[in-house]
Chains A and B, each alone.
Chain A
Amino acid sequence: MEKDAGSLIQNNSSKSAVVRRILITGICAAAILGLPLVVQNTYYIGIANFMIIYTILCMGLNLILGYTGLLSLGHAAFYGIGGYVTAILMTRHGFSFLPALLISGILAMIFGMILGIPTRKVRGDYFCLLTIAFGEIFRLVAQAWIPFTGGAMGIVAIPIPKIFNWVIRSEVDFYYLGLILVGFTWLSLTLLIGSRFGRAFVAIREDDLAASVMGINTPMYKILAFSIGSFYAGLAGSYLAVYQTTITPSSFRLEESCLMIIMVIVGGMGGMLAPISGVIIMTLATEAFRSLAEYRMLIIGVIMVVVLLFRPQGLFGTAAFKD
């Protein structure tokens, strides 16, 4: 397993490896695109849609946590900001989906900057505490500011999204919309990580002091990583809003942020696609043990402990991953 993943990431020069790589990519792509043709049960497509949401969230979080090394426990807040922005814009101001999606991402990013600027020089554990505080403040505001957010009842009857002539209504429609968003997330993050920005993020993660003396503006790059990662959370929130047609504060609790962290860690930090395996395992586990109600967090905890015991770097993370 490890060797396969390694040769996929490392640019293997031998021809057979290239052919195999194209083949594997092709099969995976076909399987993902064709899933709704094989699986007719919309319940399962619904689960896949939640995996898609978490994939977008975790790819963004992976930029913050995996590449830049900032432990943020407030990711659910940015997810929530995206959800509320879309809900409010579409229900009260007549926005169509695409502009609402974009504004949701941008506002989540701006809030990421607002939190990032004062915390840019705060070290590790304190940074983590501040992000928890931010997440809780967000949730409490969402719960208490009833005229604006609808309080605990949230915002209901979010209109059906439409992109040009495509009315997104069924589970399958949402599945493909989600895939487009995942594709966008993956592509844009891959470009970012391949640029000098990516280099700076990794340098900061590896050694903050050394990064500074190499001429990397560490506070600025931390704010960038944090706010860009939050942008994707905003997109995921926007998708959630139109997908569920309601938004309530309970979707954005601290437990959600923890779950995302667990997904990223179980999947493997720092690899672009590695968190997806964590998303799949954790989503399936949450679904499978739904009947156990609160106790399923216990099982999720056990899964994480077991994975970390046997693969401390996560399922698909490599100990010495390339940036």
Chain B
Amino acid sequence: MLKVDGIYTQYGKIKVLNNVSFEISAGEIIALIGANGAGKSTFLKTVSGLIRPTQGRVTFMDRDIQGVAPEKIVSAGIAHVPEGRHVFARQTVQTNLEIGAFIRSDAAEIKKDIERYYDIFPILGERRNQPAGTLSGGEQQMLAIARGLMARPRLLLLDEPSMGLAPFLVNEIFRIVGQLHEQGIAIVLVEQNVKKALKITQRAYVMELGQILYHGKSSDLIEDDRVRKSYLGET
């Protein structure tokens, strides 16, 4: 579905991604793990078009999308839920979801989708008329995910959805991510919570200093000594 082939990305003269290749099939769920500054967020931003790679190819459903504007990538079927939630703070929950459907014009279906996400995230339904800025961190994260889904993506890029949340909310977010995967959406999950991420994903890529060090089945990586040492804090 998505194939990234040897991309290089830089901010000015600082090289961030160095020959990164990555692949995800339809309906798959993949974790992307690595330390802070490894380039995970930059990788997602490159895929979603927020940053242009200097070299390499990104193909999505047999279309080259490297260097394509972000709004066209959303239309192609990739939704990016950026790190730090980025909800429209002064707009209501409802309006946030409506803006999430910006690329769509099927008003009736949009309404249905909004109701569907109020079912999946009941707390959002209760707060539909509240400004998003008044929600708690966990609720904002749920809103950010639901808003991303409003574009009806085939591939969802989730950047650190559990960051800064209380433990029971972290579990809730992971439960929801698993549920979305079961509905058939392909997901790339960037996470600091490596153990949980490896548990709910099928495969994982480990990134360090802008490169993919290794990748494999999540169930294998969770037993892998390198992963255990570097990311699970075990010796």
Contacts and interface: CB of A to CB of B under 8 A. Distances in A.
Interface of A: 196, 199-200, 202-203, 206-207, 209-217, 319-323
B67 to A, nearest CB: 15
A213 B91 contact: no
B102 A203 contact: yes
5 contacts: A212-B70, A213-B50, A320-B90, A320-B133, A322-B92
A207 B102 contact: no
A321 B90 contact: yes
Contacts of B75: 215
B148 A213 contact: yes
B82 A210 contact: yes
Contacts of A323: 91, 95
B91 A215 contact: no
Given A202-B88, A207-B88, A320-B90, A213 B98 contact: no
Tell me which of A212, A213, A217 has the highest count of chain B C-beta atoms within 10 A of its own C-beta: A213
B87 A215 contact: no
B69 A213 contact: no
A212 B100 CA distance: 10
B52 interface: no
A217 B69 contact: yes
A203 B99 contact: yes
Contacts of B87: 207, 210
Tell me which of B48, B71, B82, B98 has the highest count of chain A C-beta atoms within 10 A of its own C-beta: B71
Given A199-B99, A323-B95, A215 B90 contact: no
A206 B103 contact: no
Classify the secondary structure of B's interface with A.
mixed
B60 to A, nearest CB: 15
Nearest to B85: A210
B224 to A, nearest CB: 33
Contacts of A203: 88, 99, 102
A149 to B, nearest CB: 40
Given A199-B99, A210-B88, 9 more contacts: A196-B102, A203-B102, A206-B90, A207-B88, A212-B71, A213-B82, A215-B151, A322-B92, A322-B95
A200 B79 CA distance: 17
Contacts of B98: 199
B71 A320 contact: no
Nearest to A219: B69
B50 to A, nearest CB: 6
A202 B69 CA distance: 20
Contacts of A319: 90
Contacts of B57: none
A213 B88 contact: no
Contacts of A320: 90, 131, 133
A213 B45 CA distance: 9
A206 B102 contact: no
Contacts of A214: 74, 99-100, 102-103, 147, 151
Contact of B86 (A200, A210, A215, A321): A210
B50 A212 contact: yes
B80 interface: yes
Contacts of B86: 207, 209-210, 213
Going nearest first, the 5 A-B pairs with the smallest beta carbon separation are A215-B74, A215-B103, A210-B86, A206-B88, A213-B80
Contacts of B123: none
A200 B102 CA distance: 8
B89 interface: yes
